[in-house]
Amino acid sequence: MQPELPEVYTIASTKPGPTVAILGGVHGDEYEGVIAARWLAKFLKNNLVSGNVKISAPAHPAAWKATLRESPIDGKNLARIFPGLANGSATQKVAHEITERVIRGADLLIDLHSAGTNFEMPFLCGYHGGTGKISDESQRFADTFCADFTWQHFGQPLPGRSLSTAFDLNIPAIYTEGRGGRSIQYDDLQGYIDGVRRVLRELQMVTSAPISQVASCRVIGEGNTDAGVTAKIAGYIVTRAKCGQPVLRQEIIADIVDVYGEVLSQIHAPHDGFIMMRRRDARIEVGDSLFIFAKKDVRS
Ligand SMILES: [Zn+2]
């Protein structure tokens, strides 16, 4: 079966300037990024004053139509197989198309994700820091974006991500997350749009952008949604804490109970910090990712 390749919209200004690549809907169950990217595509037609913006949203049309995180054709997660393969499986072809038509040649990649069906995350902008010029620039753009949280992951992005492909091509990159759950929160959607506008203003590609109403909370830690605190036993997770909430080391975050409500075990915060990801579905199997925590980032 031939995959449907994503459409790429290019908004070109007559004045030379940087090229910014924007992705939404790399995961097909994340609505916020697609709608924000499409809103921006329309807005920028009349408001881009220099450079080019390349937008692909939904970046994974088959997954988007099926409202699935993975491809309904080959079962693959697009965000794990970048840079893709021209003659690979359906999803590898999509990754290859995005790499070649959207990411390559850009001066910045902005990948608009959200927590999707399975997870909840606070509104955040993430980047990979500590590896030199590309990560320093990524940090600057993440700070400019100014989400509720600015999350630094130390070192190179893990392979297979759009961000790792950007890094391999020497392109700074940031990504967003929002609350997800197949609902759209006004603050998240507006936050994505306004954050991108602030970055474009910083690059002098638009003349104005809304000023952020929040002082972003800077945090640091591993952001892999395949890892974090995983379930050691099966059961039902009863959450005691909210996403984005500050926690203290050893604080009880959740109980794992059996079907009679009997507590089988408890989950403690591994360190002082913040809850950056929470699993939504209460029924859990061994190995399921339950929470991700981040520490306060003490950089000045
Ligand atoms: Zn995603």
- 262 CA to centre of ligand 1 in angstroms: 34
- 114 CA to centre of ligand 1 in angstroms: 5
Length of the chain measured in residues:
300
- 105 CA to centre of ligand 1 in angstroms: 23
Could you tell me the domains of the chain? 9-220 (3.40.630.10), 229-296 (2.40.50.100)
- 227 CA to centre of ligand 1 in angstroms: 14
- 113 CA to centre of ligand 1 in angstroms: 4
Measured CA distances, 81 to 14, 93, 158, 252, 283 (Å): 35, 10, 11, 36, 28
| Confidence at residue 228, expressed as pLDDT on a 0 to 100 scale | 83
- 263 CA to centre of ligand 1 in angstroms: 32
Per residue in 31-42, pLDDT (tens digit) is: 999 999 999 999
Judge whether 68 and 28 are in contact, CB under 8 Å.
yes
- 259 CA to centre of ligand 1 in angstroms: 31
- Across the chain, which has 300 residues, the per-10-residue mean pLDDT values are 86 98 98 98 98 98 98 97 97 98 98 96 96 96 98 94 98 97 96 98 98 94 80 97 95 97 96 95 96 87
Amino acid in the structure at residue 184: I
- 207 CA to centre of ligand 1 in angstroms: 30
* pTM summary value: 0.96
- 36 CA to centre of ligand 1 in angstroms: 14
Q: Phi and psi at residue 35, in whole multiples of 5°?
A: -70, -40
- 178 CA to centre of ligand 1 in angstroms: 10
Judge whether 202 and 141 are in contact, CB under 8 Å.
yes
- 254 CA to centre of ligand 1 in angstroms: 24
| Confidence at residue 227, expressed as pLDDT on a 0 to 100 scale | 67
- 242 CA to centre of ligand 1 in angstroms: 20
| Confidence at residue 299, expressed as pLDDT on a 0 to 100 scale | 74
| Confidence at residue 147, expressed as pLDDT on a 0 to 100 scale | 98
Structure tokens at 68: 């699935």
Structure tokens at 86: 């021209």
| Confidence at residue 1, expressed as pLDDT on a 0 to 100 scale | 58
Q: Give one word for 261, left, alpha or beta, with left for phi > 0 and alpha for psi -120 to 50.
A: left
| Confidence at residue 223, expressed as pLDDT on a 0 to 100 scale | 76
| Confidence at residue 2, expressed as pLDDT on a 0 to 100 scale | 64
User: How far separated are the first and last CA of the chain, in Å rounded?
Assistant: 52
- 212 CA to centre of ligand 1 in angstroms: 24
CA nearest 216: which of 112, 111, 132, 297?
297
